[in-house]
Amino acid sequence: MSDIWRLSASRVADLISQRKLSAVEAAQAALARLDAVNPRLNAVVQHRPDEVLARAATIDAALARGENPGPLAGVPVTVKVNIDMAGFATTNGVALQKDLVARTNSPVVDNLLRAGAVIVGRTNTPAFSYRWFTSNTLHGRTLNPRDDTLTPGGSSGGAASAVAAGIGHLAHGTDIAGSIRYPAYACGVHGLRPSLGRVAAFNASGAERTIGGQITAVSGPIARTVHDLRLGLAAMALPDARDPWWVPAPLVGPAVPRTAALCVRPDGLDTHPDIAAALHDAADRLRDAGWTVDEVDTLPPLKGACDIQIGLWMGDGYEAMVRNAEREGDPGAIAALAGQARIASGFSADGLSAALVRRASLTRAWQLYMERYAVVLLPASAEPPFASEQDLQGPEAYERVWAAQMTMVGLPLVGLPALVVSTGFANGKPVGVQLVAARYREDLCLAAGEAIEARGAPIVTTD
């Protein structure tokens, strides 16, 4: 079978379960694709082919014995280099952590393995996972396979680049301020940020995260089909007692009316015409699928949520973050922290308390709003994908990047699931839209995403 690497994760899983394709053949195809394109893209920065093939052979042996290794049996996937995988360094793109070798797996890795996946490699991230651009002094720069003059996004830029190029059929990413959604958007694939507590997380190799990371950072899937996101979410969301915030919520909730709110310019966002056109096109696709779509001018606040999110993320321990970035000497990490000094420097215990109080009010407002609509359709970013390293082109460029990412930054504060759906290209650049649903209603995001996806051209891998 030729071009196995082009197939969806669900198709590969079906073929392997039916014994029409072996896990070893799928792994060999993924490794061959990695060898063909990764030297240019630098999406995967850690991989051990012999271990990949050995893992695939165990899946084939289990199938031969009549066992069911899981819903992802034999499917080649990637995981991000900022989560623990036993025997690999959890570098997070940082030279200071190049020898931080994990002794145990994170819950995400364990869950993917329980589902039968074959982890073909570990993907790149910017230093400390701070940026929407993926480069660092340890592993180097990752390219966007659609257009190497554009950012692949960040911080899961390696993950999205790999999926778009056919290195693996499903990728793991993390998202604290858009790090799953923006790379999916920039690379022309789909990415799901689950609700807080949906996917268990823990890195035994490092210290406990500060409160901002604990209550806003999540792991989730990136893929070329929305159905594959469903498959990936189900695998990742298995329980694990190591995460005190994991929630045993069902993956499918009760039926609700198929209603959507379309907001092109939330909080006065300066939305680019190409993005506005993509949003209206997505709304038309939903209407064609039987959804009721209301265009609205306002949503619960997002702009104010951004400052709170940045304070919780970077302000709690800011001075130590700056010292570590300076020790690392990574220009992107230094610029990211310096750009948020107004909010993050001097963040106090009183500031933390006030931020958490305000977070409760904003979350309540969003939860009440989501009682009116199954999903909200809004920009993923106000602009088409940025030029590579645009945030390092001076203060004005940096501010422009952050202003465009308001929905990326603000939504994690309120803990809702959000899905970025690629809708095609505009003027040669990938474009997409973002869907938001109530807590633990990823199924509604995915249902709307499938309706939008089905009425557009399917995503293809790069050659």
What would the pLDDT profile of 97-119 be if each residue is shown by its tens digit?
999 999 999 999 999 999 999 99
Give the pLDDT confidence score for residue 349 in this predicted structure: 87
Give the pLDDT confidence score for residue 183 in this predicted structure: 98
Distance CA 434, CA 437 (A): 10
Distance CA 302, CA 280 (A): 21
Q: Please report where in the chains the tokens 């994908």 appear, as a residue.
A: 385
Cβ neighbours of residue 321 closer than 8 Å, sequence gap 6 or more: 128, 314, 337
> Mean of the pLDDT values across residues 325-330?
96
Flag the least confident range among 31-40, 262-271, 312-321.
Answer: 312-321
CB atoms under 10 Å from CB of 303, counted, come to 15
Start-to-end CA distance of the chain, whole Å, equals 17
Give the pLDDT confidence score for residue 346 in this predicted structure: 83
Q: Annotated catalytic residue: which of 135, 179, 388, 422?
A: 179
Residue 2 has pLDDT above 80, yes or no: no
Residue 353 has pLDDT above 80, yes or no: yes
Residue 463 has pLDDT above 90, yes or no: no
- Report which of 129, 123, 122 is spatially closest to residue 154, judged by C-alpha positions: 129
Residue 7 has pLDDT above 70, yes or no: yes
Give the pLDDT confidence score for residue 458 in this predicted structure: 95
> pLDDT-based confidence at 447, cuts 50/70/90?
very high
CB 203 within 8 A of CB 90: yes
Taking every pair of Cα atoms in the chain, the longest distance, rounded to a whole number of angstroms, is 62
Give the pLDDT confidence score for residue 228 in this predicted structure: 98
CATH number of 4-454: 3.90.1300.10
Give the pLDDT confidence score for residue 1 in this predicted structure: 59
> pLDDT-based confidence at 340, cuts 50/70/90?
very high
155 counts as catalytic: yes
HSE of 161, CA atoms in CB hemisphere, 13 A: 36
Instruction: Give the whole-number percent of the chain exceeding pLDDT 90.
Output: 97
CB 84 within 8 A of CB 204: yes
**Which amino acid, one-letter code, is at 417?**
P
Distance CA 192, CA 194 (A): 6
Q: Annotated catalytic residue: which of 80, 161, 381, 388?
A: 80
Residue 49 has pLDDT above 70, yes or no: yes
The mean of the pLDDT values for the chain is: 97
- Report which of 118, 180, 120, 191 is spatially closest to residue 155, judged by C-alpha positions: 180
> Mean of the pLDDT values across residues 395-403?
96
429 counts as catalytic: no
Residue 334 has pLDDT above 90, yes or no: yes
Instruction: Give the whole-number percent of the chain exceeding pLDDT 70.
Output: 100
